[in-house]
Structure formats: C-alpha cells, structure tokens
Structure 1
C-alpha cells in the first residue's frame, strides 16, 4: 500500500519539461517568459538618447512658452473666461511637443515585448477573474518566494542606481556649484546635459541588470509550466482521443466509405460474384479509362448488399468464383483490374455487352 502511494506521489511531481501543447496553452493564458526590466531599460535608454537630438526643440518650446506667458498672458485679467483659453493653448502646444517622445517610448516598449514573447493577442490574460481579487491569493503572492526575489531585485536596483547617480553628480560637482554664476541659457543647457547623462547611464545599468533578470524569468517560467508524468500521460491520451470515441469515429468513417461505395454500384457495368461469399462491381468507360475499374467490393454481408443493390438497378450479375476471389484479393476499390486478369475480365465484359445488345 505504501509503495503504491509513493508511486502516486512521484507521478504527480512536476519533473517533466512542458510539452509543445502545454507551452501553447500557457501562452494563450498570457504565461510567458518576460522581464519587465528589459522593457523599462530599453524605453528609458531610447527616450534619453532621443532627447539628446530633440532637446533643442524642447528647450526652444519652453523658452517661447515662458516668453509668451510673461509678455502676453501676464497682461490678461485672471478670471474664468481667460483661464480656460490659456490652459487650452498651453495644453495643445505641449501635446504636439511631447507626442514624439511618447511615440518613441510606445514603439520601443512594444518592440521590446515583441522581441521577448513575439506577437500574440491573449484576451484571456486580461479577462476579469474573481481569483485576481481574492485576498487569500493576494497574500500568497505577496509572501511568496517570487515576491521575495522581486523585493531583493528592487533593493539592488535602487542601491546601484543611487550609487551611480551620486557618482555622476560628485564628478560634476564643480560645474553644479558654478551654475549661479552662469546665464540662464548656459545653466539650463548644463542641467539638461547632466540629466541626459544620468538618464542614459541609469538606463544602461538597468539594461545590464535586466539580462540576469530575463534569464531568471525564463527559468521560473519553465519551472511554472513543468508537468508531472501523469500530466504527460493525460495529455497524450487526450490528444490521441478516448478509445471509445476513436472507435465511434472509425465506425462513422467506415459507414461513410460504405455509403459512397454503394452509390457506385448502380453505375457499374457488371457485378462478379462467388456467388455468395464475394461480390466485385466493375465499371469501364472506353473514352475515360485505360482499363476496367473496381468501384465496389465486399465479402459475405457486404457482398449480399452489393448483389441486392445491383439487382434493384438491373446491373448484370455474373458468377465466376475464381475471378471474383482473385479480384477481391489482388485489387482495392478505385484500382484498375490487374494486368494478369485482363483476359478473364474482358471475356466477362464482352458477355455483358452482348447480353445488353440482345435485350435491347
């Protein structure tokens, strides 16, 4: 009894790699190996690199906007009628200036996700599920090993980013201390340059840290979708199909094939019989066929049905035991008559054509 329980325990242990079907099912549910740190780092890097080229445009806009505010809007009376158009104009102009930055972030973010997991729309992953708001499940996620790993990662990133930013500011300390003695434009350019350097440096650091994170996420994903030996057996059984269902499917296919075969019997030129054990229907069109073709054949009960259907449609039956047995054994439905049986079949067809002419 204990030995049986041990076997049952080991059969349920997740020791097997996920099958292609299991991977596909997990992907449909949105369960993929993906590191959000990769997306964050790439988006941040792309935005700050873009700002090096786009910063002049942004600076000119800020300059023109401030100049316009202090030369135009400052003369307006502050009331409900004037505030609305001021905010609408500033918001509209700001939108046009910020759209390129937002587009860069969106394209890079989408591309980073596509590189990691490919293009796949998974509505099931965003579907509303009660278990997502279950407080018990939430506590389990908060106090899980995965949550602990994420906490350690966050603390590590905060520490390293803090050290990096402090180092850059320390190196640039002399330049920062003399900002008060520089013009507004020069000071703004210095702060913008320093901000860009910090942004790119932090993004490069996060990208470097994202590599082991992606490796861990891939490992954790593989671990999550592992299968037990019983899961593999169940999946294989499900893919192969239940024996009863397979039997019914096979029976239905045989019935359909039988029905198609019986539909060809009335079109036959002759049915050669054994006389009771075998029945073979032959059809020959001189303009279409190189040799007579077997359109139906059967033994015992099937042979009886072929003979009955042939009589109902006035198809001539010819008894030839040796030929019927040979045709049944050597050829399948849809095959031409074997070459060694040409002469015997030709004699039968000649007899059939002669009999039809006499009846006419």
Structure 2
C-alpha cells in the first residue's frame, strides 16, 4: 500500500513539474500582461549614444542660445522694473528659449526609448503592469526576490556595468591627461569646448559598451522568461480542455447531434421512392423529384441498427425495398444525405426506380 501511495505521489509531482515549453496561447497571455523578455541595458545604451550624439551635433547652437540668454539677461532684463507684466514676459521668453535648446535633445531621447523597446518587444500596449496588486506588497515574496538567483545575476550585472564604465571613463581621462592639465592656460571658451568633447566621448563610449553588454543581458532575459513561463503536463492538458472543451462534454454534444440528425433523417424516409438494401447491414433511401433536382437525392442512409430502423420505417409506410448489395454499399460510402447521387450511379439507380415505378403501376 505504501509503495502504491509513493507511486501516486511521484506521478503527481511529475505532472506538476514545469517541463513543457509554453504554448502559443500561454505566450500570448503573458504578453498581454506585459511579461516579455527585455533588457534595460538596450534602452540605456541607445539613450546614451543618441543623446550624446545630439549634443555633439547641436552643441554649438545650444551654446550660442545659452550665451544669448545670459547676454540679454545682463544687458536688458537687469534694467527692467519689477512688475507683474515684466516678470511674466521674462519667464515666458526664458521658457521659450530653454524649450528651443532642450527640445531636440528631449525629442531624440524619446525616439531612442521608443526604438529600443520596439526592437525588443515590437508593438505592445497593455495596462496590466500598472494595476494595483496586493501581492506585490507581500514581504515574504519580496524577501524571496531579494535572495533569489535572479537578484544575484542583477547584482553581478550592475557591478560589471559600474566597473566597465569606470574603466572607460578613467581610460579617456588618462589618455587626455596632458590637454587636461593645460586647460588652466586656455581661455574659458576653449576649456569649456575641451570638457564638452571629453564628456561626449565618455558618453558615446559608455553607451557603446552598454550595448555590447546588453546582448548578453538580452540572451539571459529570454532564457529566464522561457524558464518562468514553462508549463507542466497538467497545465497543457487543462489549457487544451479549456480551448477545445471537455472531451466528455464534447462526446455528449456529438451524441446529441447524431440523435437529432438521425431523427430528422428518419422523418424523410416516408417520402422516399425506394430503399436500397444490402439486405441486412446497409440501407439507403432514395427520392427523385424532377422539380427539385435533376438527379435522385439520398434522403437517409445507415448501417446496422440505423439501417434496420430505416427499413422498419419504410415497411410501415409501404416504401418499396430493393436488394442490391454492391449498389447499397457504394451509395453509402460515396453519397451524402440530402445531396444528389454521383453521376456514376445514374444508370443503376434509374433501373431501380424504373422497377419501382412498374410495381406501382401494376398495383
């Protein structure tokens, strides 16, 4: 008895073990919830490269705009009297000028964020991650996340990013240590230009390094995502049942449909012209109406029990039954109910109908 219980327990755990790949429906459901493999390093890398690239392209214009604002402030605004109208005009003009300076950089930053997300997850709109969930406030689950393998990987990844960016920054400063020490001998404009170039170089190099690191991070994120959405054999079966319906219920529905079809079919037998039999296993009821069809129509067919029922109804309604073994079998296999017979059976069925009409004429 203990052995049997042990086997049942092992089977139960085996059924619940996540060993199966996620089905397309499971993937679609997790995507709707916003659960997709994505690396934040891709976003950060693209953001750094495009933003510092924009600073390199528009830096001169931004410097001129800022210099113009400062010059106007000390040459014009400083002589204004403090009034509500002058303060409003001052803030409005300064806001417009600052917007002109920052708009290109902010626009490129938005494009970088949208593009980096698009290349990873495609087009996706979902509000599921924004919904309030009390489970997120569970301290036990939070502690498990802190001391999980994923948290360890994130820690190693963060240390690696900090080390990489620190090395890149130090290397750029070390390479340019000569010009850096000589900035005190240069004009303010030349010194600012030098520091601007060094800063842009650091940003571009750091962004490129993060993009290289993001390739490894994205591979890991995909692996971790696939692992988390794995399904057990029981999950796959349950999903199949939900999509296709319970097999027991489906069989009952099909049985009910067969019963309704058989009942409807039996109601057509009294109007048939002839029933062709095997004589015991097959029965096919044929009706010929020139007004409805150019060829005879199969109004009912069946084997074994259904064939017996067709013959009983035909006998009760005095429908002629003709025995033709090969024709009955062929009609059953190659004809559909409420459809005209195939052209290959025209001659054989015509002979049977002619025989039936002769009998009716004699009667």
TM bracket (short chain): 0.7 to 0.9
Counterparts of 1:35-74 in structure 2, within 5 Å, are: 35-74=39-78
**Structure 1 residues 197 and 6, CA, compared in 2 at 3 Å: closer, same or farther?**
same
Counterpart of 2:139 in structure 1 is: 135
Report the alpha carbon displacement of residue 280 of structure 1 after superposing the two structures with TM: 1.4
Counterpart of 1:22 in structure 2 is: 26
Counterparts of 1:246-257 in structure 2, within 5 Å, are: 246-251=250-255, 253-254=257-258
2:162 to 146, 158, 169: 158
Counterpart of 1:333 in structure 2 is: 336
Cα distance in 2 for residues equivalent to 1:254 and 1:111: 56
Q: Is the 8 A contact 1:14 1:227 kept in 2?
A: yes
Q: Deviations over 1:236-281 (max 9, x none)?
A: 4545532222113323544675588689x49x77453669984514
Report the alpha carbon displacement of residue 37 of structure 1 after superposing the two structures with TM: 0.8
Counterpart of 1:303 in structure 2 is: 310
Counterpart of 2:180 in structure 1 is: 176
Report the alpha carbon displacement of residue 295 of structure 1 after superposing the two structures with TM: 4.3
Q: Deviations over 1:216-251 (max 9, x none)?
A: 212211221223343344444545532222113323
Q: Deviations over 1:48-107 (max 9, x none)?
A: 123222222222221222222222222223455433332232223322332222222222
Q: Is the 8 A contact 1:29 1:124 kept in 2?
A: yes
Q: Is the 8 A contact 2:161 2:210 kept in 1?
A: yes
Q: Deviations over 1:93-148 (max 9, x none)?
A: 32233222222222222222222222233333333322123333333323322223
Cα distance in 2 for residues equivalent to 1:306 and 1:36: 76
Q: Is the 8 A contact 2:33 2:126 kept in 1?
A: yes
1:320 to 286, 298, 322: 322
Cα distance in 1 for residues equivalent to 2:109 and 2:263: 63
Cα distance in 2 for residues equivalent to 1:6 and 1:33: 33
Q: Is the 8 A contact 2:287 2:296 kept in 1?
A: yes
Q: Deviations over 1:159-205 (max 9, x none)?
A: 22122212212322332333344334333322221111111011111
**Structure 1 residues 305 and 25, CA, compared in 2 at 3 Å: closer, same or farther?**
farther
Query: RMSD in angstroms over aligned alpha carbons?
Result: 3.8
Q: Does 1:191 align with 2:214?
A: no
Q: Is the 8 A contact 1:318 1:348 kept in 2?
A: no
Q: Is the 8 A contact 2:275 2:314 kept in 1?
A: no
**Structure 1 residues 181 and 20, CA, compared in 2 at 3 Å: closer, same or farther?**
same
Taking structure 2 as the reference length, what is the TM-score of the superposition? 0.79
Number of equivalences: 350
Q: Which moved more, 1:64-73 or 1:199-208?
A: 64-73
**Structure 1 residues 77 and 303, CA, compared in 2 at 3 Å: closer, same or farther?**
farther
Report the alpha carbon displacement of residue 317 of structure 1 after superposing the two structures with TM: 4.5
Specify the SS of the correspondent of 1:294.
strand
Counterpart of 2:89 in structure 1 is: 85
Taking structure 1 as the reference length, what is the TM-score of the superposition? 0.79
Counterpart of 2:232 in structure 1 is: 228
Please, which runs of 5 or more residues in structure 2 have no aligned partner?
none
Cα distance in 1 for residues equivalent to 2:200 and 2:20: 48
Cα distance in 2 for residues equivalent to 1:83 and 1:255: 88
Cα distance in 1 for residues equivalent to 2:287 and 2:101: 83
Cα distance in 2 for residues equivalent to 1:180 and 1:256: 99
